[in-house]
Structure formats: C-alpha cells, structure tokens
Amino acid sequence: MKVRKAVIPAAGLGTRMLPATKTVPKEMLPLVDKPAIQYIIEEAVASGIEDILVVTNRAKSAMDDYFDYTPELEDVLIRGGKDSELEAIRHSADIANIFYVRQKETKGLGHAVWRAKRFVGDEPFAVLLGDDIMMGDVPVTKQLIDAAEKYDAAAVGVQKVSAEAISKYSSVKVSALEERIYKVSDMNEKPGPGQAFSEFAILGRYILTPDIFKILENTAPGYGGEIQLTDGLKTLCKTSPMVAVDFDARRYDTGNLQGFLEATIDFALKDPHVGDWLRVFLREKAL
Ligand code: G1P
C-alpha cells in the first residue's frame, strides 16, 4: 500500500475561536510565525504525501492565497536583500501539490471527506484534521502509514484520554496486536456516560481506503445531525481490516483557545529565534 494523497478537511466555521475567526479562517491563525494549516501540510509532506486536497468553504480563500506565489511581495524582498523572508514565502508556495474543493454545505466531517472522492480515485489516502497539531520526532501520519502498510489495513491514530474527556471524541473498541498497535472492531462518536468502548480516542489522523466513499454515501446523519466520519469508519472496520495506532507525539487541540495557547508556547519554546527569550520571559512572569 503506497499512500501518496492526503485530504485536509478545513471547512469548519471555527466557532470555538471567535471573534478572531469571524473573518480569518481558523486554519490561518498563526502558531508562532506560520499558519496552523502549514504544520499539517508539512506533516503530510514529511510522511511521503505528494498531493493534498483541502476541503474548504466560501470564507476560506485566504488559505489558497497563502499557498500561492506573491510576485509583488517577492520583488520587494529581493530588492531589500531579505533572503530568509523570501525563502520562507516561496517555501509555503512550493511545499506540495495542493488542490481545493469546497464542501458547499456544512453537513459534517463525513460529508467533507466524501467531497474528496474524485480527488482520491482508487488509492488509499490519509486524512489529517486541521485542529489536531502534533509535535513529535516521527510524523504521526508516517507512523500510521507504516502500520497500515504492515497490516494491509486502514488505520486511525489514537491516544488514551481521561474517562471524562472521551465524550469529546470517538472511542474505539480494540484488541492488542503488538506494542502501540491494536485491531479495531467497533467505535462510536462522542459516547455518552458508560457508552465508551475504551479510553482510546481517535485524534485527527486516519489512513483510509476508497471503500469509505460508498459507505459515507449511505451513512445517515448521526451525532449533532451531521454525517459523521466515525459512523462510516464503524461500518468500514466491520467489513475490512483496520488498526489503531497509539501514536508517539504530543497532540494539541488548536480548535480551542487553551490548546491553541499550549501549542503556541510549546512551538515558540522550540523556535531558534524566540525560544531562549521566551523561557526567560515565562520564568519572570511565573514569579
Ligand atoms: C472530530 C471527530 C472525532 C475525533 C475528534 C478529534 O471531532 O469527529 O471523532 O475524535 O475530531 O480528532 P470534533 O473535534 O470535530 O468535534
């Protein structure tokens, strides 16, 4: 199984990050000096992905502008001898083959992924959710691709969360295959009290087969009245092999303010330009 394509659903309204997201797509909010979506795209590219489809909506054109060339700005930077800035803005435009499709209707994550049907064709593909930003040595998508190839299976990225937190995610029913890899036999979206299959939650990374599209076409609206990807995967895992990978990375939910600030501080602490300064600044503030 060779995974060359990725889909990034980015059509959410960003209501947890208002008022900033009233006019700025949440994926374009900067984590240190790069928009959040660039971290997602860099993870995909570092995992061997060549073609990326971003599922957008009518309020998100700042994203495709960002991954384009900006000749006027480049001229100014060239004339001013600002080489590193020039390199940074060219890098974001040359990073991958990026395609866009609009979701057109806000009908849920399952519907957003279904919009990728024509782009994906007959190949396995990765899905990376824009809110889930990862920090780790091996890209999380690569960890999933390795497991999917080894078991010739679909794969979901999971980590254990607390019993209280599981109701925010999808919980998966698993049995161990090897260290960090489990066989998936069932799952549910946003389980109520006592309904979770386990404390393993799916956290924003998937390797799927095109079989998912036919399933999603026949998946009725579920939690919140939306077509849920989890409901489609529940059917997929009963008809085809699927593994859960307890991935090795720190995951940030940048779709809410607390997670966004955690990611901002952690990424800034690692940044060669501001990391040392920020460490001193935070120590002073913590007094
Ligand atoms: C989505 C998915 C859910 C998953 C979560 C974290 O939920 O529907 O299954 O566990 O992302 O990746 P949302 O955060 O959009 O409510």
pLDDT tens-digit readout, 17-53: 899 889 899 999 999 999 999 999 999 999 999 999 9
**11: pLDDT strictly greater than 90:** no
pLDDT-based confidence at residue 212 (cuts at 50, 70, 90): very high
What pLDDT shows up at residue 220? 93
Q: Residue 60 Cα, ligand 1 centroid: separation in angstroms?
A: 20
Greater model confidence, 12 or 176: 176
In short, whether 169's Cβ falls inside 6 Å of ligand 1 is yes
pLDDT-based confidence at residue 59 (cuts at 50, 70, 90): confident
Residue 98: half-sphere exposure toward Cβ, Cα within 13 Å? 24
**For a pocket test of ligand 1, which of 8, 40, 129, 230 has the largest count of ligand atoms closer than 8 A to its C-beta?**
129
Ligand 1, atom 15: nearest CA belongs to which residue? 109
Model pLDDT for residues 227-277, shown as the tens digit of each residue: 999 999 999 999 999 999 999 999 999 989 999 999 999 999 999 999 999
What pLDDT shows up at residue 201? 98
Q: In sequence order, which ranges of the chain are alpha helices (DSSP H)?
A: 36-46, 61-66, 71-79, 83-94, 109-114, 117-120, 140-151, 211-217, 229-239, 257-270, 275-286
Contact of 171 with 197, CB cutoff 8 Å: yes
CA distance 27 to 4: 23
**60: pLDDT strictly greater than 90:** no
CA distance 118 to 125: 12
Q: Residue 119 Cα, ligand 1 centroid: separation in angstroms?
A: 23
Q: What is the pTM of this model?
A: 0.95
**287: pLDDT strictly greater than 80:** no
DSSP state of 25: -
Angle between helices 36-46 and 140-151 (to 10 degrees): 40
Mean pLDDT for all residues in the chain: 95
Instruction: For the beta carbon of residue 239, count every other beta carbon within 10 angstroms.
Output: 9
In short, whether 230's Cβ falls inside 6 Å of ligand 1 is yes
DSSP state of 253: E
**58: pLDDT strictly greater than 90:** no
CA distance 176 to 146: 17
Model pLDDT for residues 127-163, shown as the tens digit of each residue: 999 999 999 999 999 999 999 999 999 999 999 999 9
Is 164 in a helix, a strand, or coil?
coil
What pLDDT shows up at residue 55? 96
In short, whether 204's Cβ falls inside 6 Å of ligand 1 is yes
135 dihedral zone (left: phi>0; alpha: psi -120 to 50; beta)? beta
CA distance 191 to 58: 32
CA distance 42 to 57: 22
**105: pLDDT strictly greater than 90:** no
Beta-bridged to residue 55, according to DSSP, are 9, 101
CA distance 49 to 206: 13
What pLDDT shows up at residue 61? 87
Among 245, 228, 224, smallest CA distance to 236 is for 228
What pLDDT shows up at residue 13? 84
Among 166, 199, 159, smallest CA distance to 180 is for 159
| Token representation of residue 219 | 């998946």
Residues 6+ apart with CB under 8 A from 134: 39, 43, 140, 205, 247, 249, 250, 251, 252
| Token representation of residue 144 | 């999933």
CA distance 92 to 282: 30
Ligand 1, atom 3: nearest CA belongs to which residue? 169
